[in-house]
A and B are shown apart, each in its own frame.
Chain A
């Protein structure tokens, strides 16, 4: 319901807030499923940081979505077909919580059996993340760093006059006007 509201609402500020609520609800769902690490991440990233970043972007953009006329029937068809395919594929998924599932029988069993002997720490997620699958996590860290570099490259350049985004007129402040040297 919240997701539908996010799509329908035209006020982008309200959409950002609804999206934060959606993330918080997902975090609650993960907590119910006993996935503490994932819940913590979802709460911190989805409800926290991404909301803050969206709000920061909103200070640069208009508050309301540009109104579009009519409906895009092709998009609706694509979404419906994809959704139907995913629903059909979901019927083949193994039963939830079954011990014979591939997730439980592959490397998972090895981690469950050996984490205590190898590491001596109770949080298996940390063991898998930082030690067994250490190179994956390093890649993740590098991706985050690369994202920061990309944003830095995009946003640290000074905007120049006549940029299409820079349009709104604002009255100049007295202080700045008086600082300016009189033109000869």
Chain B
């Protein structure tokens, strides 16, 4: 779809906007509707739009598959380790009040860190699922090509 001018221009305008809205929802989640989950999905939607226009290869150049694997695990780890940090500083698991001296600021910091972890996981998992399905089609095509080649050889 790279050759369709309307799509390309619209996407060039929309993709940065979508990514920006995703980041806004992520970091403004305490003041307005939103949070890590929604932000991750919106951010990944921007990337998926990029892939739909420019192709999977260029999308994976921007965010490689390996980075998705690592980051999706890292998001969950950030969440769990934040909880553990609370334990180490003398509180209960996932209790944020002891992270900083001011309990209110500590709660806010804890929420922001934890939501960041959720956002990271959700965004990369959404991208990963899309990539896996899209790549499956390519795998099939390769297998079909081989099959056709072999059939041709057999008949020859």
Contact = CB atoms under 8 A, between A and B. Distances in A.
Interface string B18-60: 0000000100011111110110011011001000000000000
Interface in A53-70: 53, 56-57, 59-60
Interface string B105-119: 101101100110110
B1 interface: no
B35 A126 contact: yes
A126 B136 contact: no
Dominant secondary structure of chain B at its interface with chain A: helix
A152 B130 CA distance: 11
Contacts of B105: 120
A5 interface: no
A144 B120 CA distance: 11
Nearest to A42: B38
B118 A172 contact: no
Given A130-B35, A141-B117, A119 B76 contact: no
Contact of B121 (A118, A141, A180): A141
A12 interface: no
A155 B29 CA distance: 34
A37 B35 contact: yes
Contacts of A160: 143
A134 to B, nearest CB: 4
Interface string A123-163: 10111011100110110111011011001100110111101
Contacts, number: 174
Contacts of A48: 41-42, 45
Nearest to A134: B94
A99 to B, nearest CB: 23
Contact of B145 (A60, A122, A138, A176): A176
Contact of B111 (A127, A140, A152): A127
A137 B114 contact: yes
B35 A172 contact: no
A95 B73 CA distance: 44
A158 B125 contact: no
Nearest to B110: A131
Nearest to B37: A41
Contacts of B72: 145, 148
Interface in A158-174: 158-161, 163, 165-166, 168-173
A162 B42 CA distance: 39
Contacts of B147: 161, 166
13 contacts: A48-B45, A53-B133, A60-B140, A117-B104, A126-B29, A134-B83, A134-B114, A141-B122, A151-B132, A155-B133, A170-B141, A172-B148, A176-B145
Nearest 8 CB-CB pairings of A with B: A36-B33, A56-B133, A44-B41, A121-B30, A134-B94, A130-B111, A148-B125, A120-B104
